[in-house]
């Protein structure tokens, strides 16, 4: 049975941003996201919890950087510049983030006007399909396996789900205590996830 990545996809794409990537091809390619709705208690209580998560795709068949138009605002080597931390992160387009949903991935890929193919290898896997837009740029990956990493090491999908649930509890507490003497350190992911009602 295929893994259910819906919680993971939502937690990254809700207010997240794509901040970096690195390849160790043909073995793997890794994308790092910030603003992810996961809770890891911070060691330093004067700082918010880390919102960083890396997706590592193992034995990819296809890796490409996609563009939805000619977008004159970015340099042609923007993927390399992002890898080298020379340009700002890209905010994820929430409605255009698909992981493990083949039909949704295909819809995203259909929107591309151009593509920079970074890696193609027929001997890789296609069990995990992934594509997203972050404004006018995005990524398309097909690989054999997906693994999740925090700054502290690897976690599994079920652990991530419980960390996401803990984040929502933390988020409620954050807003209850905001502007009080007990307020938590300012947290980007909480600030842009505004309560309704």
Question: Mean pLDDT across the stretch 138-152?
Answer: 97
Does residue 71 register a pLDDT over 70? no
pLDDT at 1: 65
Tell which residue, 4, 16, 161, 158, has the closest CA to residue 96.
16
pLDDT at 70: 67
Residue 196 within any structural domain of the chain = no
Residue 56 belongs to domain spanning? 6-191
Does residue 30 register a pLDDT over 70? yes
Question: Mean pLDDT across the stretch 188-195?
Answer: 93
Residue 132 within any structural domain of the chain = yes
pLDDT at 73: 77
pLDDT at 90: 96
Query: Who wins on pLDDT, 130 or 196?
Result: 130
pLDDT at 137: 95
Does residue 16 register a pLDDT over 80? yes
At 74, give phi and psi (nearest 5°): -120, 150
Question: Mean pLDDT across the stretch 47-74?
Answer: 91
Residue 197 within any structural domain of the chain = no
pLDDT at 164: 97
Counting the structural domains of the chain, the total is 1
| 22 in Cβ contact with 29 (< 8 Å) | yes
pLDDT at 72: 57
Using omega within 30 degrees of 0 as the cis cutoff, is the peptide bond preceding 70 cis? no
Question: Mean pLDDT across the stretch 121-127?
Answer: 92
pLDDT at 184: 96
Does residue 23 register a pLDDT over 90? yes
pLDDT at 136: 92
Residue 155 within any structural domain of the chain = yes
Residue 64 within any structural domain of the chain = yes
Residue 103 within any structural domain of the chain = yes
pTM of the model as a whole: 0.95
Tell the burial category of 44 from Cβ atoms under 10 Å away from its Cβ (0-12, 13-18, 19+).
exposed
Residue 148 within any structural domain of the chain = yes
Residue 1 within any structural domain of the chain = no
% of the chain with per-residue pLDDT over 70: 97
For residues 15-34, one letter each, b for 16 or more C-beta atoms within 10 angstroms of the residue's C-beta and e for the rest, the string is bbbbbbbebeeeebbbbbbb
Does residue 50 register a pLDDT over 90? yes
């Amino acid at each position: 049975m295929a893994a259910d990545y819906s919680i993971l996809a939502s937690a990254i794409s809700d207010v997240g941003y794509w901040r970096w990537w690195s390849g160790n091809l043909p073995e793997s390619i890794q994308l790092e996201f910030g603003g992810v709705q996961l809770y890891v208690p911070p060691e330093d209580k004067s700082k918010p919890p880390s919102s960083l998560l890396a997706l590592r795709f193992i034995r990819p068949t296809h890796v490409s950087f996609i563009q939805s138009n000619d977008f004159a605002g970015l340099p042609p080597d923007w993927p390399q510049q992002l890898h080298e931390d020379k340009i700002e992160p890209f905010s994820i387009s929430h409605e255009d983030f698909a992981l493990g949903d083949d039909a949704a991935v295909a819809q995203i890929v259909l929107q591309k006007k151009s593509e920079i193919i970074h890696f193609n290898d027929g001997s890789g896997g296609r069990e995990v399909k992934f594509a997203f837009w972050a404004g006018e740029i995005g990524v398309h990956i097909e690989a054999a396996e997906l693994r999740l990493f925090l700054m502290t090491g690897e976690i599994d999908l079920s652990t991530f789900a419980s960390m996401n649930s803990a984040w929502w509890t933390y988020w409620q507490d954050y807003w209850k205590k905001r502007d009080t003497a007990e307020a938590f350190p300012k947290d980007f992911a909480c600030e842009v996830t505004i309560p309704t009602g």
